[in-house]
């Protein structure tokens, strides 16, 4: 073989070997190693590489229910001390309360379907979040301090590894908190646990009621299955006047998922709503 062809042959083999040795991680908590692609423009900035909203957004994204806190065993491998982006983290696996304010961001289509730290596939349309140290799995209530809207999410991933970010939310959670366009928001994060009483799953925020008030609700249905409750909720949204949308929600009371309308300030207001909708008057207190 002539020297020039031998040199070209060795160069080609070397390039192939280098290409084969580069492995792109499937974890949604790690930044991809591939060279940056063209950024997608977002209001007030740009999405990282090719991240951003999905090309097709479900029409019922507003109805994605909050995560329901459950008693789940911790995943040992997901709660070990670790380092990322030059920082060291030690997950807190104790049952200690957690309450913090900071910036929340969200991650979308670039990570959709990839493995999270929990081993589950990331679903950008589910109520989940990534946090550097909260136990996996655990649950947290996230409140947008700019508009008062709240969601309950399940922590199943690690990140964001940025000193200016408190947690990464799924696209659905950020959508419900109304900051998808901005990319980030000031939030309050509070850890929550399952209770023996009830866990609120309202699809809308009950903003405007003082804590010392006793709101009333009109029960529209009760189900043993969350899926059935969600189906009724979607049917009501399609059938009722849009003025009722903000008052519709689901609550889990000791394993029974109740579809309700409210809050109302009194039993009389509940009865008036029931008469308007031509349904049985079943008053719920909280």
Looking up residue 122, the CATH number of its domain turns out to be: 2.40.40.10
Residue 52: what pLDDT?
55
Q: Mean pLDDT throughout 111-130?
A: 90
Residue 239 domain-assigned? yes
C-alpha 41/C-alpha 45 separation (Å) is: 6
Q: Residue 8 has which token pair?
A: 């070209």
Residue 6: what pLDDT?
59
Bigger pLDDT: 275 vs 14: 275
* Residues in Cβ contact with 36 at an 8 Å cutoff, skipping those fewer than 6 apart: 49
C-alpha 204/C-alpha 245 separation (Å) is: 8
**Same domain flag for 186 and 246:** no
Question: Last residue of some domain: 163, 192, 221?
Answer: 192
Position 20 pLDDT exceeds 70 = no
Residue 70: what pLDDT?
87
Average pLDDT over the chain, rounded to whole?
A: 76
Distances (CA, A) of 134 to 67, 104, 147, 149, 281: 16, 15, 25, 22, 42
When mean pLDDT is compared across 45-59, 66-80, 219-233, the lowest value belongs to 45-59
**Same domain flag for 176 and 203:** no
**Same domain flag for 51 and 181:** yes
For the ranges 100-109, 151-160, 262-271, the maximum mean pLDDT occurs at 151-160
CA 58 to chain CA centroid, nearest Å: 15
Residue 23: what pLDDT?
31
**Same domain flag for 208 and 68:** no
Question: Last residue of some domain: 146, 175, 192?
Answer: 192
The range of the structural domain enclosing residue 233 comes to: 198-285
Position 72 pLDDT exceeds 70 = yes
pLDDT band at 204 (very low <50, low <70, confident <90, very high): very low
C-alpha 216/C-alpha 285 separation (Å) is: 5
Q: Mean pLDDT throughout 174-203?
A: 78
Residue 130: what pLDDT?
96
Tell whether pTM > 0.75: no
* Residues in Cβ contact with 208 at an 8 Å cutoff, skipping those fewer than 6 apart: none
**Tokens 């908190």 sit on residue:** 177
**Same domain flag for 183 and 226:** no
**Tokens 């000031």 sit on residue:** 186
Q: Mean pLDDT throughout 71-83?
A: 94
When mean pLDDT is compared across 10-14, 92-96, 282-286, the lowest value belongs to 10-14
pLDDT tens by residue, 230-285: 888 888 887 887 777 667 888 777 778 888 888 888 888 888 888 888 888 888 87
**Same domain flag for 186 and 219:** no
Whether the CB-CB separation of 139 and 153 falls below 8 Å is answered with yes
- How many distinct structural domains can be found in the chain? 2
Position 61 pLDDT exceeds 90 = no
Residue 67 domain-assigned? yes
**Residue-wise DSSP of 30-63:** S---SPP-PPPEETTEE-STT-SS-SS--TTGGG
**Same domain flag for 135 and 247:** no
């Amino acid at each position: 073989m002539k020297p020039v062809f031998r040199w070209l042959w060795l160069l080609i083999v070397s390039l192939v070997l280098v290409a084969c040795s580069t492995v792109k991680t499937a974890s949604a908590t790690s930044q991809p190693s591939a060279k940056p692609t063209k950024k997608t423009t977002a209001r007030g900035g740009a999405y990282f590489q090719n991240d951003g909203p999905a090309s097709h957004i479900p029409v019922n994204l507003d109805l994605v229910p909050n995560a329901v806190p459950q008693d789940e065993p911790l995943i040992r491998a997901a709660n070990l001390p670790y380092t990322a982006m030059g920082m060291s983290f030690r997950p807190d696996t104790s049952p200690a309360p957690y309450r913090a304010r900071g910036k929340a961001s969200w991650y979308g289509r670039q990570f959709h379907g990839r493995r999270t730290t929990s081993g589950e596939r990331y679903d950008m349309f589910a109520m989940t979040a990534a946090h550097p140290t909260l136990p996996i799995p655990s649950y947290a209530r996230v409140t947008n301090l700019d508009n008062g809207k709240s969601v309950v999410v399940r922590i199943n991933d690690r990140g964001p590894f940025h000193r200016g970010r408190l947690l990464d939310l799924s696209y659905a959670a950020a959508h419900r908190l109304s900051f998808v366009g901005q990319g980030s928001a000031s939030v309050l994060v509070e850890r929550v646990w399952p209770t023996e009483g009830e866990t609120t799953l309202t699809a809308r925020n009950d903003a405007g009621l003082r804590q010392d008030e006793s709101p009333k609700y009109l029960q529209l249905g009760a189900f043993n299955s969350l899926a059935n409750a969600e189906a009724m909720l979607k049917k009501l949204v399609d059938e009722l006047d849009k003025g009722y949308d903000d008052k519709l929600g689901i609550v889990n009371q000791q394993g029974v998922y109740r579809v309700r309308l409210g809050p109302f300030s009194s039993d009389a207001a509940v009865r008036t709503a029931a008469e308007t909708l031509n349904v049985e008057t079943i008053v719920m207190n909280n």
